[in-house]
Amino acid sequence: MAEPDGVRVHPLGLCESDDVGPGTRIWAWAHVLPGARVGADCNVCDHAYVEGGARLGDRVTVKNGVLVFDGVDVGDDVFLGPGVVFTNDLRPRAHVKKGADALLPTVVEDGVTLGAGTVVVCGIRIGRHAFAAAGSVVTRDVPAHAFVAGNPARQRGWVCACGERLGSDLSCTCRACYRVVEDGALELVRTGDPVTSILSGAGSR
């Protein structure tokens, strides 16, 4: 099958979708099925699987062994760590055949990070810039900027758009600052500089 314009597919990779954006790279043993939508400048690493009906936005990183099934809608600038698994059926049975209308959709908003080995149970929404620690089992909606961890995943704090944990005053080493508003959501008060966060030795919080 011919590669979509501007898309690089490794000789051992397989891209059967014609809806893949320019600048995207699909590496060895990765498989993108017909009907999948992959945006521009994505990186789909070895052994990743993107099923028909799944949607990836622009600049998404899909690390090795990630499984993205029908009904999963991933926004822009999302990082899916090695071995991340999405589901789309809460009660699967091998002998019960279900149509696409029986699947539960999952939405991952822009800027989210899912750490290595995260499992996402279907039918939930993960808010912008949320962060799931490695090995998390996410079973319910995650607020924007929330840091979650564990099985089942529970909120353990907040994260900045740059990816660093926020301090108790909701400030970040990148100099961004947030506040909690009435509905419990996080609101940006002052923007920061991710480069400042890196140079200051972020990660110590």
Residue 101 has pLDDT above 60, yes or no: yes
Q: What is the pLDDT of residue 205?
A: 39
Could you tell me the domains of the chain?
1-159 (2.160.10.10), 162-205 (no CATH)
Confidence grade of residue 193 (pLDDT, cut at 50, 70, 90): confident
Q: Is 23 left (phi over 0), alpha (psi -120 to 50) or beta?
A: left
Whether 140 contacts 122, CB under 8 Å = no
Q: What is the pLDDT of residue 182?
A: 78
State whether residue 55 is helix, strand or coil. Answer: strand
Sequence-distant (6+) residues with CB within 8 A of 29 are: 12, 13, 46, 47
Confidence grade of residue 192 (pLDDT, cut at 50, 70, 90): confident
pLDDT tens-digit series, residues 10-69: 999 999 999 999 999 999 999 999 999 999 999 999 999 999 999 999 999 999 999 999
Q: What integer best gives the mean pLDDT of the chain?
A: 92
pTM of the model: 0.90
pLDDT tens-digit series, residues 73-86: 999 999 999 999 99
